[in-house]
Structure 1
Amino acid sequence: MDFNNIGVFRLAGARLEHLAQRQRLIAENVVNANTPDYRAKDVKPFEALLGGMKPVAAARTSSAHLASTRPADIVRETRRPELWEVTPDGNAVALEQEMTKGSETRDAFALTAGLFQRNVQMLRAAWKA
């Protein structure tokens, strides 16, 4: 069976590839922490790569169901650019920021890999039945 035909596996694979690319850039930033005029690099947020996928909203199938009182955009996390200092030689890599980004990437990778594994377990259970 080709897992690329299943949406959750395709999405998880794309997310894992995105996180791997981000980890490579973080490592590159750390390596160049003492290089004059080096600017830290980062990838675009994964949400920007989804290209038009909209968040899932609950559908009211009955007038007895409660309607949401807040718009869907409120719960979306917004990234704001972190302002860190630039050294006198022009280097703009802050090791503290890179370590924070590395931890965030590791956690997101573990979450996505766990989701992938759970879906594989569900498929195995369905095949055994």
Structure 2
Amino acid sequence: MFEKLNVFNIAYTMATHAGKRQALVSENIANADTPKYHAKDLLPFAEVYAHGKTQGDMIASRGNHMNASDGMNWAITTDDSSVDPNDNSVSIEEEILKGVEAKRQHDRALAIYRSSMNILRASLGRS
């Protein structure tokens, strides 16, 4: 009956997306002075989810695409808009803002998960 609760899959995927985005932000900040390094980012979760939706489920383009321990390598973009003289496109200020967005997304995913668990517990008569 409760084998496929889509809300838990979405919350898990959203939290994973936030974690991978935070890792890319960290990588970008670490390479802020590396010549010819271009900032990387993931597409926003809503956009990824909207393009991958098939009757409410996300689709995988290859094996272990989602729920994989090696991460989500899909939808990685590079920023070539503003580069400095050594061909580096990392802006520390933008990366800090991206990190805050990723933290908020992760917190939102945990809140969805907790709320769903509370609803399940209440429906079973447990608190």
TM-score over 0.5 for the alignment? yes
Deviating runs (4+, > 2 A) in structure 1?
47-50, 52-55, 82-85
> Percent identical across equivalent pairs?
32
| Conserved 8 A contact 1:84-1:94 | no
Give the SS at the match of 2:42.
coil
Question: Counterpart in 2 of 1:59?
Answer: none
Cα drift, residue 111 of structure 1:
1.4
Question: Counterpart in 2 of 1:5?
Answer: 4
Question: Counterpart in 1 of 2:16?
Answer: 17
1:54/1:101 CA distance change after superposition, 3 Å: farther
- 2:95 equivalent to 1:98: yes
Q: Structure 2 unaligned runs (5+)? A: 57-78
Question: Counterpart in 1 of 2:71?
Answer: none
Please tell me the residue identity of whatever aligns with 1:14: T
Question: Counterpart in 2 of 1:49?
Answer: 48
Q: Structure 1 unaligned runs (5+)? A: 56-81
Alignment root-mean-square deviation, CA = 2.7
Q: Distance in 1 between matches of 2:46 and 2:100?
A: 19
Q: Distance in 2 between matches of 1:113 and 1:92?
A: 32
Q: Which has the larger radius of gyration?
A: 1
Q: Distance in 2 between matches of 1:52 and 1:17?
A: 17
Please tell me the residue identity of whatever aligns with 2:108: L
1:54/1:40 CA distance change after superposition, 3 Å: farther
1:52/1:118 CA distance change after superposition, 3 Å: closer
Q: Distance in 1 between matches of 2:18 and 2:39?
A: 17
Count of residue pairs the alignment pairs up: 103
